[in-house]
């Protein structure tokens, strides 16, 4: 995998709306300003790409504008990092404009840059994985930098700081606290803190012993399900197959699969169907272990736990549950393709290689 360089104070970073265009809505202006301020506090220079703030209606109708922004961010030598504005549900519509463009693919390979985001951004990550670029399933602009509280959530702020650092190995610890998702995102909520809970489960071993190593690969379970079915959009499965977005069965051998559920908080019966679908795609039957993100608000925590065990019993698949990545708050980052180790006796997770290229 091609590794990007770490961020440095003074770097220009692009914010791109690759799925929902909500960042450009007037009702989000206070969050936009909050996120810009936080990037500046990190010592970075934020760059809004030409279409990032065009709004939901325009970007819904014009996926080519979203794709153009991502391409331009890779072509611009001044931009060192790229941050997804937010998720959504139709990033897949950008694929024909990117994966059929030799200039874009060459730019990605010749100018690897830090790329971070989660949720529907899974689609972008899988695209970059295919192109050989290591990206980060981690914080985005609207959910994290634009946090309405007095400060960024401390654990998430530590994650951002890692984007500036070069370590040979990275231990990803369980956060001592977790937070509810907000119900009020209005300007009136500025400077108000999230509802906070002490972590009681920590990393939970559902099955497994000893240390298992493998390369990290995965994303949002809902996104995988959508890419493998016609449930959400009738053409999504066909587009994903056309561009080989889901790695073939043999490519999952030796991998540690990471999955988490979206803010739609899928009902347990749908969660079961999602797991069954990725098993049918020969993902669960090939990986060496699974790490699973904390469900948002801990909703369906026990139900998901029991279904995970039930659907993998015959595979005897090692599973570590309740990791702080994905849609629950706070969140860490996971580097795609990086070698990691899960110690199922100690319930620990460690990335065994540097996240960045320093040469």
Given a cut of 80, whether residue 359 has pLDDT beyond it is no
Residues 294, 264: contact at Cβ < 8 Å?
no
Q: How confident is the model at residue 358 (pLDDT cuts 50, 70, 90)?
A: confident
Q: How confident is the model at residue 103 (pLDDT cuts 50, 70, 90)?
A: very high
d(CA 91, CA 353): 30
The CATH superfamily of 170-351 is LD-carboxypeptidase A C-terminal domain-like (3.50.30.60)
Q: How confident is the model at residue 272 (pLDDT cuts 50, 70, 90)?
A: very high
Q: What is the tens place of the pLDDT at every residue in 12-48?
A: 999 999 999 999 999 999 999 999 999 999 999 999 9
What is the pLDDT of the chain when averaged over all its residues?
98
pTM of the model: 0.98
Residues 65, 52: contact at Cβ < 8 Å?
no
**Which CATH number is 12-162 given?**
3.40.50.10740
Given a cut of 90, whether residue 354 has pLDDT beyond it is yes
Is the four-CA dihedral 147, 89, 260, 200 of positive or negative sign?
positive
Q: What is the tens place of the pLDDT at every residue in 121-170?
A: 999 999 999 999 999 999 999 999 999 999 999 999 999 999 999 999 99
Instruction: Enumerate the domain spans of the chain.
Output: 12-162, 170-351
Q: What are phi and psi of 255, to 5 degrees?
A: -90, 150
């Amino acid at each position: 995998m091609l590794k990007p360089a770490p961020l440095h104070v003074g770097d220009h970073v692009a914010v791109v709306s690759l799925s929902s265009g909500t960042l450009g809505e007037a009702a989000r202006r206070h969050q936009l300003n909050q996120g810009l301020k936080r990037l500046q506090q990190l010592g970075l220079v934020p760059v809004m790409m030409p279409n990032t703030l065009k709004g939901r209606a325009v970007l819904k109708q014009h996926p080519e504008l979203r794709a153009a922004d991502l391409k331009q961010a890779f072509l611009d030598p001044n931009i060192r990092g790229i941050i997804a504005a937010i998720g959504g549900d139709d990033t897949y519509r950008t694929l024909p404009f990117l994966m059929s463009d030799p200039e874009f693919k060459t730019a990605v390979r010749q100018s690897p840059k830090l790329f971070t985001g989660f949720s529907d951004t899974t689609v972008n990550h899988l695209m970059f994985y295919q192109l050989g670029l290591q990206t980060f399933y981690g914080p985005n602009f609207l959910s994290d930098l634009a946090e309405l509280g007095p400060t960024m959530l401390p654990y998430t702020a530590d994650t951002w700081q890692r984007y500036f650092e070069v370590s040979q190995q990275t231990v990803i610890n369980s956060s001592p606290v977790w937070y509810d998702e907000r119900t009020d995102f209005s300007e009136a909520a500025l400077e108000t803190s999230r509802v906070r809970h002490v972590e009681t489960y920590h990393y939970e071993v559902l099955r497994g012993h000893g240390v298992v190593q493998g390369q990290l690969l995965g994303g949002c379970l809902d996104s995988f399900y959508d890419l493998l079915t016609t449930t959400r959009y009738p053409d999504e499965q066909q587009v994903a197959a056309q561009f080989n977005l889901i790695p073939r069965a043999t490519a999952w051998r030796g991998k540690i699969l990471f999955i988490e559920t979206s803010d739609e908080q899928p009902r347990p019966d749908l969660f079961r169907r999602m797991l069954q679908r990725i098993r049918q795609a020969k993902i669960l039957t090939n990986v060496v272990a699974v790490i699973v993100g904390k469900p948002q608000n801990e909703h369906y925590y026990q139900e998901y736990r029991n279904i995970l065990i039930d659907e993998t019993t015959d595979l005897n698949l090692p599973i570590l549950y309740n990791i702080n990545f994905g849609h629950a708050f706070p969140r860490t980052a996971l580097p795609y393709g990086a070698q990691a180790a899960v110690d199922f006796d100690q319930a620990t997770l460690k990335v065994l290689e540097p996240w960045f290229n320093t040469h």
